[in-house]
A and B are shown apart, each in its own frame.
Chain A
Amino acid sequence: MRRLWLLALSATVVGLTAACDPTPNEVPTEAEAPTPNVGQITFPTIARSATDGIINLAECSGAGTIRLKARIRFIATPNLFTEYRLYVANDDDEAITDPASTEDCQTTGSTTGLLVGLVEDPPGRGSRTENISSDFITDAEYATSRIVSALGLADPCGTSGDIHLCFQARRANQDVGTARVTLSVVVDDAPAPPVLKSVTPGEEALNVDWDATTPGAEESYAVEVGRQVDPADPLSVVTITSPRVSGTELRFENLTIGTPYNVQVRAFSDADNPSDPSNAISASPVDVRDFFESYQDAGGQEQGGCGTGGGGVLALVGLAALVALRRRS
């Protein structure tokens, strides 16, 4: 065992990244990753966006994935790691060393209330063996629901909290190095649907106004505009969804004048859990006359452009004359 640890000490793992964003992250550069001590595996400290690190209800139930990327560099001893595992735990206390197995990752639920699971997707335990050489880069995706369910909770999507991922590199059935990262599981309730107050027709647009679900809450909203494509088929509805906004009004543009649209608003919690849609209001964009068009409709003579009369020129001439007079005096 001690020998294996010495072998492990001869390897340097430069970085291992974990991110919840389904969009693949770039492999972290060495500048992004803190240089670990010899034999130590670390997750590089990389700023994550507000949505990163949060698993919402939809992701918890299977819609999302967590993508892990690891860059592992072996300086002295090639073929050091032959397999690696990913564990998940609901508590990081004493997770550094499992007292039962002396492995760095907590592999059993030995503490009261501690749940530990093994994520069995590749590259899980025993399912993938790599003859790893220098500068090995791995890139794997896990279903978020799999990570959550690996904890073995009775209702994994019913409780908010942190889960801790532990990456373990192994050789000859021995732990030779680990790294950890914590994800927040936020399974807060979906917000109540907003109250759609008004939909006012605009020019090729609809101005949508609604009341916040919970005043002061950190929520975002998306407006959904549905159009019936086939007048004979009420189910032939094409729905366009706006980008998320934090306010309670939106001008939905690029619509067709005279076409009726069914408008609804949906609220999203801070963890992106969606509400049911709001009440619906139907409206059609209209031709809107701005002030200048209204002025011309009324028979106004102004045509725009530079005004007539040489006022500016006259003023400049006058000013120049005054300055010249001042100099002379």
Chain B
Amino acid sequence: VKRAVVAAILVAVAADARAESRRWGSFEIGAGTYEPDIDSEFPGGPQPFEDAFGSGRGWMFRTGAALALFRYAGTVEAGLQSGYLQKTGKGRTVEGTRAGDDTRLRLIPVSLTLTYRFEWLNERLRIPFAPYGRVGLERFHWWVEDGDGDTSESGATNGWSATAGLALLLDFIDTQVARELDNDTGVNDTYLFFELTRRSVHDFGSDSSWNMSDENFGMNFGLMFVF
């Protein structure tokens, strides 16, 4: 009887494994907070960013896709991410007082990323967590608008980022639905993730660049689909 039970379990596990589609990579969508450290260029002096936009951190929305490269107790992925952030504030008069005209900073970050997601916990121990680490090369495309909505200046600033995150595998909530999702759409796993990101976006220390690095660690969260 014991052998029969073990055999049945093995058959079920094998059938379950067979049912899962091939993994190509992942897709994620999320949001996080960000505030560029532009005012750090003027220690003890004027604070043009804070004067215009205030001190609150802005919301940056991001999405990305990654291609699975290797699997070893987890997955190594190379990917591309992009997003959008907008800060709206008030311009200044020549005398430095607050003017009636709006001014805007718009930002489209583009990142090339390399991620390692440790999936061994779930695959071996059925613990639905996957810690991960990510490094990325960042290119922040930005432009500033004046009160008419015209572009006053635009450019791009390069840098790097490092991320540590924890992803919660949601498949355990309803394995049947997860399996159907895989059959119907090819999504193997669905994760809810939370991560901390350190960004250094300052053209690698260039003197002729402003500092778009995040003032603090950026906190991001979102959904990730492994397909």
Contacts and interface: CB of A to CB of B under 8 A. Distances in A.
B148 A203 contact: yes
Interface stretch (A61-69, A99-107, A187-195, A296-304): A296-304
A207 to B, nearest CB: 4
Nearest to A209: B100
A287 interface: yes
Contacts of B152: 290-293
Interface string B66-110: 010110000000100000000001011110000111011100000
B207 interface: yes
Nearest to A202: B101
> Which among A253, A305, A308 has the highest number of chain B CB atoms within 10 Å?
A308
Given A298-B42, A322-B114, A290 B144 contact: yes
Nearest to B69: A326
Given A288-B91, A291-B144, A322-B114, A298 B48 contact: yes
Interface stretch (B49-57, B120-128, B190-198, B216-224): B49-57
B153 interface: yes
A288 B101 contact: yes
A292 B100 contact: no
B210 interface: yes
B156 interface: yes
Given A202-B101, A295-B48, A306 B155 contact: yes
A302 B100 contact: no
Contacts of A297: 46, 48
A311 B137 contact: yes
A312 B158 contact: yes
Contacts of A295: 38, 48-49, 210
A301 B146 contact: no
A205 interface: yes
- Measured as residues with beta carbon below 8 angstroms from the partner, the interface class of chain A is 35 or more
Contact of B146 (A206, A288, A302): A288
Contacts of B160: 311
A223 to B, nearest CB: 14
Interface residues of B, number: 51
Given A301-B209, A309-B206, A253 B139 contact: no
Contacts of B89: 291
Which secondary structure dominates where chain A touches chain B?
mixed
A297 B210 CA distance: 14
Interface stretch (A46-54, A78-86, A313-321): A313-321
B171 interface: no
Contact of A294 (B91, B156, B158): B91
A307 B208 CA distance: 9
A96 interface: no
B157 interface: yes
Interface string A264-303: 0000000000000000000000111111111101111111
Contacts of B112: 312, 315-316, 318-319
> Which among B138, B148, B159 has the highest number of chain A CB atoms within 10 Å?
B148
18 contacts: A205-B147, A288-B99, A288-B101, A290-B101, A290-B145, A290-B152, A291-B48, A291-B53, A293-B91, A294-B52, A303-B155, A307-B139, A308-B209, A309-B158, A311-B160, A314-B137, A318-B114, A319-B112
Interface of A: 200-203, 205-207, 251, 253, 286-295, 297-309, 311-312, 314-316, 318-319, 322-323, 325-326, 329
Sorted nearest first, the 10 A-B pairs with minimum C-beta distance are: A200-B100, A315-B112, A311-B158, A315-B137, A302-B210, A207-B100, A292-B144, A290-B146, A202-B101, A290-B103
